Amino acid sequence: MGHPVPPREVRRRRRAPADQLDRHPLGREDRHPMSTHRLELLPAVDVRDGQAVRLVHGESGTETSYGDPLEAALTWQRAGAEWLHLVDLDAAFGTGDNRERIAEVVRAMDIKVELSGGIRDDETLAAALATGCTRVNLGTAALESPEWVAKVIAEHGDKIAVGLDVRGTTLRGRGWTRDGGDLYETLARLDSEGCARYVVTDIAKDGTLQGPNLELLRNVCAATDRPVVASGGVSSLDDLRALAGLVPEGVEGAIVGKALYAKAFTLEEALEAVSR
Ligand SMILES: O=C(O)c1ccccc1NCC(=O)[C@H](O)[C@H](O)COP(=O)(O)O
């Protein structure tokens, strides 16, 4: 099956920077300052009803429970993680929240934490930032409250990332349950507002151990000069090596969930695989 083609205007915008890169006086390294770095790994802890869980395609009701989220987070920290991707799934789905548990996990971490799920207004953003997390990941708000998102990007800079969660090239919000517009149009808008980075998830791959959508990631990297964190589908060390191969194109990091919980590999092995 063919992949949806971005609109002509977007294709033009995507090609132009790539064509100009080698002519840029500072070359590719300047466009993606992380490009000489190794791929960052962000083990995921998704919290539902106070428990660490994994979902399939991010769908409510598909949970497999993996116990205490603090234990899971400490396990990844002990294994050498530099980042934790921490998601309040109840806040994302609108079925409550796990604020206390999430704050407890962030407090216990010596490593950087990216916090996601249900951050949609001043109150939820203030609560998220008050945990001491390194940055937050906005999803639904970027689709439904563009003016608020532009304001908080201006106020908080790189403490704000935007999650671009897609089926095909259609964005999904509200715990990935509602359509929210075109990926490339939204990306162009957020770029123009100064968004610092994107967390890109192919929902069709998420929680399935089917491998990341490398084509989607390449297309997003070609459309923006901001770093991209890849999320969803990682199943093997080879997947991580493939993502590490996209670092020069702008992939900065990879979120890994199910593969770690299913013990497809250890975090130590993953860190080793992306260190060369
Ligand atoms: O991040 C969110 O806000 C979110 C909202 C609704 C459903 C799922 C959500 N996040 C899921 C994740 O971030 C996964 O942990 C991540 O994509 C890892 O996927 P995988 O490696 O395929 O388990």
Do residues 65 and 261 touch, judged by C-beta distance below 8 A?
no
- Residues in contact with ligand 1 by the CB-under-6-Å rule are 44, 46, 54-55, 58, 85, 87, 89, 92, 116-117, 139, 163, 175-176, 201, 206-207, 231-234, 255-259
165 a catalytic residue: yes
pTM, to two decimals: 0.88
CB atoms within 10 A of CB 13: 18
User: DSSP characters for 207-238?
Assistant: TTTS---HHHHHHHHHH-SS-EEEES---SHH
Do residues 177 and 94 touch, judged by C-beta distance below 8 A?
no
The DSSP code for 143 is H
For ligand 1, pick from 85, 178, 231 the residue to mutate: most ligand atoms within 8 Å of CB. 231
110 a catalytic residue: no
Buried b (16+ CB within 10 A) or exposed e, 118-153: bbbeeebbebbbebebbbbbbbbbbbeeeebbbebb
pLDDT, position 146: 95
pLDDT, position 36: 64
pLDDT, position 59: 85
Burial class of residue 257, CB neighbours in 10 A (0-12, 13-18, 19+): buried
What spacing in Å lies between the alpha carbon of 22 and ligand 1's midpoint? 35
Buried b (16+ CB within 10 A) or exposed e, 22-51: eeeeeeeeebbebbeeebbbbbbbbbbeeb
The DSSP code for 250 is T
What spacing in Å lies between the alpha carbon of 206 and ligand 1's midpoint? 7
User: DSSP characters for 34-88?
Assistant: GGGSPPEEEEEEEEETTEEEE-STT-TT--EE-S-HHHHHHHHHHTT-SEEEEEE
What spacing in Å lies between the alpha carbon of 276 and ligand 1's midpoint? 27
**What is the number of the ligand 1 atom nearest to the C-alpha of 176?**
6
pLDDT in tens, 57-79: 888 889 899 999 999 999 999 99
Quote ipTM for the complex: 0.96
Do residues 183 and 163 touch, judged by C-beta distance below 8 A?
no
pLDDT in tens, 100-139: 999 999 999 999 999 999 999 999 999 999 999 999 999 9
What spacing in Å lies between the alpha carbon of 232 and ligand 1's midpoint? 7
**Which among 87, 51, 88 is positioned nearest to 70, based on CA atoms?**
51
The parts of the chain modelled with pLDDT lower than 70 are 1-36, 176
Q: Which two tokens stand for residue 242?
A: 């493939």
**What is the number of the ligand 1 atom nearest to the C-alpha of 46?**
15
**What is the number of the ligand 1 atom nearest to the C-alpha of 118?**
3
Angle between helices 146-156 and 122-130 (to 10 degrees): 30
